[in-house]
């Protein structure tokens, strides 16, 4: 299995090189050369498989022989050491909870899988020490910090905007120590991201450091997200309904993984990409014109993305054929007001506390319409505790802190303050 760059200039690479490089040298995203559907037998007996066994079947063609089977199985079982429950909300609507991992957002699975793959490549002495450099507006940083903690041969440097992440998120980034360093940037998320981009283009740095990125452009973070859709199918198959998945979407990595699962043969009637007012894709599906816009701030802030980087992969899955794409994918955008209203309704009518992202997913199902032959699943991408300031006033209730959060909230924050790119560069060169 090889991966090609969607910009079609850089040479094809193996899984290992795609993981270590992150982005292709021509700045394109990597995409698998071939997608082979899974056997009918697998789907007929999926309920007999454990989650780890399902994950192995789903991912093995993409990893190919870059990681031996037994090692890959170990990586998968270490990655998936928590649950992915389906929780009934209405007669034919359920939430797929993806927040039972260590940082309580769905990004844990991709981050943990990628960390272990890099760790393996390193242990084999197949690559020199890697520095993972990542900018975060909140959830990515925590998941990456937790996923990479203690992984040998990998240093992690996280840039976050001072005063602009929630208390819980800041503690998740700054309290781990070991191979994780938090750089607290005097600026905005866009400033953090600009510094990271500059670093990846800095010849002096590249000559001295093996830099890689850990956001969803990396195939090892993107592809494991396919697992969720299979886990849901396994739990719901006996309902014998037509399944509709609604995915709260920002950078479109998660929904793109869902569409890959569909390509692998997962029986799904429709996918819905539900967005907040950052409506680039709903707009595209309606007009056929893709217009990136500056991101707008919302209460579902992990989806405040004005130029979703994985959407080119979505187009590639359908060979850039919009007609085929629209047969499977719908996309709708919702305002904060609608989202708040949905959270209130879900709590009052169905006694479930949705986070703002999950609520956007729920609204996507409602807009599309789930008839009696169908069953709708919205992805609950984060625990509501991560968005306390938004959630508590709406549901009029205090949320108890889960143990993952209690463990970090009283730890001491350790960060290094920086203001400009030179300081980041010096830090990286000296570390």
Q: Which residues are catalytic?
A: 107
Min CB(339)–ligand PLP separation in Å: 12
Closer to ligand PLP by CB, 127 or 216: give it: 216
**Binding string, 151-190, against ligand PLP, x = CB under 6 A?**
----------------------------------------
Q: What are the strands of the beta sheet with 210-212, ordered from one edge? A: 210-212, 130-135, 154-161, 180-185, 416-418
- From the list 172-180, 250-258, 291-299, 326-334, the region that binds ligand PLP by CB under 6 A is 250-258
- From the list 1-9, 75-83, 248-256, 410-418, the region that binds ligand PLP by CB under 6 A is 248-256
Closer to ligand PLP by CB, 5 or 251: give it: 251
Q: Does 250 bind ligand PLP (CB under 6 A)?
A: yes
DSSP-based three-state secondary structure for 402? coil
Span 19-48, contacts to ligand PLP by CB under 6 A:
none
CA atoms of 57 and 76, how far apart (whole Å): 11
CA atoms of 161 and 158, how far apart (whole Å): 10
Min CB(115)–ligand PLP separation in Å: 17
**Binding string, 101-140, against ligand PLP, x = CB under 6 A?**
----x-x-------------------------------x-
Min CB(101)–ligand PLP separation in Å: 12
CA atoms of 339 and 36, how far apart (whole Å): 38
Q: Within its chain, how far is the Cα of 273 from the centroid?
A: 14
Q: Which segments of 276-333 are extended strands (E)? A: 329-333
Q: Does 224 bind ligand PLP (CB under 6 A)?
A: no
DSSP-based three-state secondary structure for 180? strand
Q: Does 382 bind ligand PLP (CB under 6 A)?
A: yes
Q: What are the strands of the beta sheet with 93-97, ordered from one edge? A: 86-90, 93-97, 374-380, 242-248, 270-275, 329-333
| The only residue of 252, 332, 368, 378 in contact with ligand PLP, by rule CB under 6 A | 252
Min CB(280)–ligand PLP separation in Å: 12
Min CB(238)–ligand PLP separation in Å: 29
Closer to ligand PLP by CB, 120 or 311: give it: 311
CA atoms of 97 and 61, how far apart (whole Å): 27
Min CB(196)–ligand PLP separation in Å: 17
CA atoms of 65 and 366, how far apart (whole Å): 43
- From the list 78-86, 155-163, 235-243, 252-260, the region that binds ligand PLP by CB under 6 A is 252-260
Helix, strand, coil distribution of the chain in percent, nearest 5: 50, 15, 35
CA atoms of 115 and 134, how far apart (whole Å): 13
| The only residue of 141, 153, 224, 253 in contact with ligand PLP, by rule CB under 6 A | 253
DSSP symbol at 88 = E
List beta partners, residue 210.
130
DSSP-based three-state secondary structure for 416? strand
Site for ligand PLP, rule CB under 6 A = 105, 107, 139, 216, 248-254, 302-303, 357, 381-382
């Amino acid at each position: 299995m090889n991966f090609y760059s969607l910009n079609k200039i850089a040479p094809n690479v193996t899984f290992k090189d795609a993981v270590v490089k992150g982005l292709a040298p021509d700045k394109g995203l990597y995409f698998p050369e071939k997608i082979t559907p899974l056997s009918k037998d697998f789907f007929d007996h999926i309920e007999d498989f454990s989650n780890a066994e399902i994950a192995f079947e789903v991912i093995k063609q993409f990893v190919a022989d870059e990681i031996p089977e037994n090692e890959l199985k170990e990586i998968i079982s270490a990655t998936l050491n928590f649950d992915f429950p389906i929780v009934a909300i209405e007669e034919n609507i359920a939430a797929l909870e993806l927040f039972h991992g260590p940082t309580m957002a769905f990004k844990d699975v991709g981050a943990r899988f990628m960390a272990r793959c890099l760790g393996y490549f390193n242990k084999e002495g197949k690559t020199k020490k890697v520095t993972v450099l990542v900018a975060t507006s909140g959830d990515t940083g925590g998941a990456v910090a937790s996923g990479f903690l203690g992984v040998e041969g990998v240093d992690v440097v996280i840039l976050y905007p001072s005063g602009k992440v929630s208390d819980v998120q800041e503690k998740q980034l700054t309290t781990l120590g070991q191979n994780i360093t938090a750089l607290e940037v005097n600026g905005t998320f866009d400033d953090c991201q600009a510094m990271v981009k500059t670093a990846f283009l800095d010849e002096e740095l590249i000559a001295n450091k093996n830099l890689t990125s850990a956001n969803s452009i990396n195939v090892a973070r993107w592809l494991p997200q396919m697992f969720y859709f299979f886990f849901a199918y396994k739990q719901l198959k006996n309902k014998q309904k037509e399944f509709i998945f609604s995915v709260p979407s920002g950078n479109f990595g998660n929904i793109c993984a869902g569409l890959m699962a569909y390509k692998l043969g997962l029986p799904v009637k429709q996918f819905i990409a539900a967005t907040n007012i950052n409506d680039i894709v709903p707009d595209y599906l309606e007009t056929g014109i893709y217009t990136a816009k500056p991101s707008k701030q919302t209460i579902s802030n992990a989806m405040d993305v004005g130029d979703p980087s994985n959407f080119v992969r979505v187009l590639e899955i359908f060979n850039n054929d919009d007609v085929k794409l629209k047969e499977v994918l719908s996309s709708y955008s919702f305002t904060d007001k609608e989202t708040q209203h949905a959270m209130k309704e879900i709590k009052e009518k169905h006694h479930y506390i949705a986070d703002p992202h999950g609520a956007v997913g729920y609204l996507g199902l409602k807009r599309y319409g789930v008839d009696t032959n169908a069953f709708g699943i919205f992805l609950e991408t984060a625990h509501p505790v991560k968005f306390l300031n938004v959630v508590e006033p709406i549901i009029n209730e205090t949320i108890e802190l889960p143990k993952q959060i209690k463990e970090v909230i009283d730890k001491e924050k350790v960060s290094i303050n920086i203001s400009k790119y030179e300081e980041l560069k010096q830090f990286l060169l000296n570390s």
